[in-house]
Each structure stands twice: as structure tokens, then as C-alpha cells.
Amino acid sequence: MKRSRIEDLLAQLVAFATVSSQSNLAMIDWVEDFLIQAGFDVRRITAEGEPKAGLLAKFGAGEGGTLLSAHSDVVPVAGQAWSSDPFTLTRREDRLFGRGATDMKGFLACVLALAETLKTRPPAAPVMIALSWDEELGCRGIAQMIGQVLPTLGHPDLCIVGEPTLMRLGTGHKGKTSYRAICHGEPGHSAMAPQFRNALHLGADLINALREEQDWLQAEGAREEGHEIAYSTVHAGRMSGGVALNIVPERAEIDFEIRNIAADDPEEILSRIISRLPDGIEIATTGSYPGLSAEAENPAFANLRGLLPDPEPVKVSYGTEAGFFAALGIPTVVCGPGTMRDGHQPNEGIACSELALCAQVLQLLLRLSDEKG
């Protein structure tokens, strides 16, 4: 695999403006055709109720092998000051700029460049690819796809989720559950405000309960070393309510989240929060994905770990789809080119050397698998 080929593929991928709010079907069509031409068996999984899809693809027969996982969607560019068109890959010196270059079309470009070489040098064990949608919206796509992974692909020996880790071995991240709280008040004239229940006051009660729970988690909660924040966290990100100053608010909404370490159950955290609340607050789950807690010494990771410039494991601060694969009993790690410090930013970019390293690691990993087979 030459770097120029990876850049060419990345340029193709970046040109698909697969912002999560838009369809990804044009990109999925292109990747599906690419993989079929490369000799893969491909299964398309269509999203429920929206024009989106994902792919599960396999080269080679039998059980075992390596699964390479990526997502097709990218975050928006609206309101960001870019120096060039975010959907046209632009090279400046040794870096490539474009939305998704780091998160995570750079990894996908490396995977596709590898995929088209397998016909001429077939690996002894299968090579598999999972490509999802709406990861940026809380891993919605993989939640719909995950039940088809084992029936379609068999049971891989290893899954690599290629989110950017600077090609470090990512063995853990927190799980996340998001919620929407509806606070039900009573409308009335503000001159008689004490006679009515104010939905914003209920919202304030919830915010206070979240802060109290966060204080408890920080002071007395379980710890998992390796995370930048070693305990579970709660966070309120959006609050709205009321229609006019002279009307007591009838309704308020608050969106909040729990990011939990492996030792904590988010439902138990939520239960403690609810126990502090007055009547009139309705809470519904809006999204969830599991965390990842892998043992770096797992023999399934040995070959990969031996190929990395820095074999020491790390835990990442962001969420990924890795926990879904791990829940199937597949040894799973997060490992990909670039750094998330460049992701979600204007002028998102990735170093060419990172892409070259990723390509080299994937080549050598499959060669080791081939030799082992």
C-alpha cells in the first residue's frame, strides 16, 4: 500500500458529506461496490425509518480472523471557521485536512487500501469490515447492526475499532446513557406565581440533584485508574422552558447524561438522582452505549501490541462502538491513526505519517495471522 493510494481513497471518502443529520447512502453505495470488486462478501443493513445504512463485509471463509470497525458519519461543520473546503481533502505539508480525516475516515481509507490487496495475497484467516452510521449521535447505527455481526461474519478472534488513538492500544472507555427530563408545571399569571407549580423550579431541583450526585461520585464513588477523570460523571447539557416572563412556566426540558466507569451501573446512579427529586419530573432514556474494559494482557491482542511503537495501553476519554463488539465475546480494542484532539474541530487534519503507520500495522498484523495459520 502506497501512501498516495491511501490519500486518494481518503479524498473520495471526505468528499461524501456524511454529516449525521444527512443520508450516508451515497458513501455506502461507493464502499459496497469497492468491497465487492475487492472480493468481499458484503451485507447491507438498512437503518430503521431513515435513509441510512451500514455494511458488514468478509473476505475469506471460516471462523476467526480480524474485524476492522469504522463509522461513516461525521460531525457538522456549520459555524466553524475552516481554511479550506471541509469536504475537499487538502494537503498542507505533511498533513491532510478535511472533515472526517481523523474521525474516522483516515482509518477507513487504510482499511480499504488493505482490502484491495487481499485478492493477490489472501490471508489465512478471514478479514472483516463493519461500517456503521450515526456513531456521532450515540452509536445508533451499531445498536441496530450488532445482532447481525456473528450470523454474518462468524466469530472474529480480534476486533479493532479504529478511532484515533495515535496508534496506541486503547483498552477502555466509559459507557454513556443520555436522558431527557420533562418537568411538568402549571400555567398561570406571574402576579400569582406562588399559587402555581413552576416547571423551571422543578428543573432547578433536577440540576441540583445532578450536582449533588456528581459531588458524591467525586468524593466517594468507585475509581478506575487510567481515565483522565477516574470516576463516573453526570452532566446537564441543555435546559429550556417557559414562553413569557409574565406566565408561570408549564413545561421545562433538560437533557443530561451519565458517563459511567465499568464498576458503576448508570441505572443505580439515576435511581439515586431520582430519589432526591419532587413529583412532576418525568425522565426518559434517549440513548445508550456500553463502555469498554479490556485486559491488555489478553493473548488476542499480543500480535497487535507487538507492532505498535508504544505498546503501553491507554484509556480514551470519548465513547466508541467497541463495547458492543466486546459484549459479543469478541476481544476488542480501540486503535487508530490520529488524535481526537483534531476531531470535531475546524481544520480537522491528520498527519500522513499516522496513516502510513496504520497501514503498516494492519499489513503486518495480517501477515502474522497468515504465518500463524
Query: How do residues 102-147 score in pLDDT, each as one tens digit?
Result: 999 999 999 999 999 999 989 989 999 999 999 999 999 999 999 9
What pLDDT, on a 0 to 100 scale, did the predictor assign at position 2? 47
pTM of the model: 0.92
Interval 223-277: pLDDT, tens: 999 999 999 999 999 999 999 999 999 999 999 999 999 999 999 999 999 999 9
Residue 373 pLDDT level (bands cut at 50, 70, 90) = very low
Q: Between residues 158 and 367, which one has the greater pLDDT?
A: 158
Question: Angle CA(238)–CA(242)–CA(243) in degrees, nearest 5?
Answer: 125
SS3 367: helix
Question: Angle CA(115)–CA(121)–CA(127) in degrees, nearest 5?
Answer: 40
Spatial distance between the Cα atoms of 205 and 58, rounded to a whole number of angstroms: 52
Spatial distance between the Cα atoms of 205 and 281, rounded to a whole number of angstroms: 10
Q: What is the mean pLDDT of residues 155-162?
A: 98
Report yes or no: 253 and 286 within 8 Å, Cβ to Cβ. Answer: no
Give just the sign of the alpha carbon dihedral 145, 150, 151, 153. positive
| HSE-CB for 299 with a 13 A CA cutoff | 1
The pLDDT mean for the chain works out to 95
What pLDDT, on a 0 to 100 scale, did the predictor assign at position 367? 78
Q: Residue 212 — left, alpha, or beta (φ > 0 → left; ψ -120 to 50 → alpha)? A: alpha
Q: What percent of the chain has pLDDT over 70?
A: 98
Spatial distance between the Cα atoms of 65 and 368, rounded to a whole number of angstroms: 11
Spatial distance between the Cα atoms of 278 and 201, rounded to a whole number of angstroms: 10
| HSE-CB for 229 with a 13 A CA cutoff | 15
- Check pLDDT > 80 for residue 99: yes
**Peptide bond before residue 104 is cis, with ω within 30 degrees of 0:** yes
Neighbours of 149 (CB within 10 A): 23
Report yes or no: 188 and 247 within 8 Å, Cβ to Cβ. Answer: yes
What pLDDT, on a 0 to 100 scale, did the predictor assign at position 288? 93
Interval 308-345: pLDDT, tens: 999 999 999 999 999 999 999 999 999 999 999 899 99
- Check pLDDT > 80 for residue 372: no
Q: What percent of the chain has pLDDT over 90?
A: 94
Pick the closest to residue 175 from 324, 64, 63 (CA basis). 324
What pLDDT, on a 0 to 100 scale, did the predictor assign at position 71? 98
